Structure formats: C-alpha cells, structure tokens
Amino acid sequence: MLYFTAILAAVRGDKDLLEKLLLNSNNNGSTAFHYSCHSSTADVVNTICTAIGENKQLLEKMMLHSNTYGDLPLSYGCSCGATEAVIAILDALTGDKELLRKVLLHKNNEGLAALNYCYQDMLKAILASAGDDKVLLSNMMSECDHNGYTALHHACSEGATDVVLALLDSMIPDEKVLQTAYSMAQVMGKHDTAEVMLSKLPDHLAEKIKK
C-alpha cells in the first residue's frame, strides 16, 4: 500500500504515465485497480480515485476495463467479498449516473453482473446506489446469466437468506422468477431460505409458488 501510494504520488502530474500505470494489465487482463478491489479495505481504491482527480475519461476507462474473464473491477471486488472496496467504488461513481449504469449492468463471460455475486452489505450498497432510478433497479433485478438465473436465483441456491430478503424488498414480484428461485432453494436443500421467502410474499402468491 505504501509503495503504491508513493508511486501514484510521483506520477500524478503526468497524465499519460498515470494512465499507463493504471490501465496496464497482467496476463489475465487484470489491472492494479482490479487487485485493489481484492482487498477488504477501501484504502487503495480511494488512493487511486484521488490520484485520478477530475480526469473522467481515465476514470471511465479504468472502471470499464474487463479482464480475460470479463470482470470489471467492481464485479471482481464483489466476487472476492471485498465489501469496503466495493462501497468505495460506488462512492466514486456517485456523480456519473451513466457510468454507474454501465458498470452495474455489465456482465462477465459467464453472464454474471455485480449483483449476482453479492453478500448482504454490498448488495444493499449496490441497490442504494441506484437511488430513485427505477429503470436501473428493475434492470439489475431482472438481469439473467447464461443459464437464465437472476440474483435472486443465485441467493436462493446458496441459502443466503439475508440477501434473498433484501432482494425481495427491492423487486417487483415476478411469479415465474419467484417460482423457479423457490424450487432452486428446495432442490439445493436450502429449505429454511425457501420458507422465509414464502413468508414474505402475499398469501395468494405464496400458495401459487408452493404448488
């Protein structure tokens, strides 16, 4: 961390060199920003964003740089469970709704978006980042991977009850999605998650899904 901070400070006045440093990637296409999101803290993410300053073009290039697996830094951080780093990225994107939209809706090579990976705290942060943009929120909730699974399906299959509840609080009920997510939880042996999900639905919808 100290070495990287010193390097950034040394090149901050040279925009071309700073861009080369931040966009340089290794054999799997990951940049320094990808690896900063692997950390459980926000320190390196904040240091990099501070170094970029008002250079919106470089910020966009860095945020939208995908590695060979198709992961952007945000989705990479989500897959690593690096909640503080993920929240720091979302904070850096607060002033650019269009870039935020691109980052949140991006899918990797397996068809997974950031929301598909999420643990409870980072999921809440991602949902909150959409603010009052109901279209973005709806798109995130309905996005499917290559197997046709949404974030709710993934949460149900893993028995992540808290994540399921957070998703249910934000989504418009879709009977087909709810039915298949419930069935997936049952098949994977996550019976408690399945029952909690049903308990949060209107009685008439819960009865349909159980059938």
Going from the N-terminus, what domains does the chain have, and what CATH number goes with each? 2-132 (1.25.40.20), 149-211 (no CATH)
- How many other C-beta atoms are found inside a 10 Å radius of the C-beta of residue 153? 21
Q: How far apart are CA 30 and CA 17, in angstroms?
A: 18
Average confidence (pLDDT) over 129-157: 86
Q: Which residue has the higher pLDDT, 70 or 211?
A: 70
13-54 confidence digits (pLDDT tens): 778 888 888 898 999 999 988 988 877 678 888 888 888 888
Q: Which of 208, 210, 130, 196 is nearest to 163 (CA)?
A: 196
Which token pair is 95?
């002033």
Distances (CA, A) of 14 to 6, 10, 24, 91: 14, 9, 15, 25
Q: How far apart are CA 103 and CA 117, in angstroms?
A: 14
CA geometry: angle 142, 146, 152, nearest 5 deg: 40
159-200 confidence digits (pLDDT tens): 888 888 888 888 877 888 899 999 999 999 999 999 999 998
Helix (H) or strand (E) holding 44: helix 43-52
Average confidence (pLDDT) over 108-131: 83
Q: What is the CA radius of gyration of the chain?
A: 19
Q: Count Cβ atoms within 10 A of the Cβ of residue 15 and give its class: 0-12 exposed, 13-18 middle, 19 or more buried.
A: middle
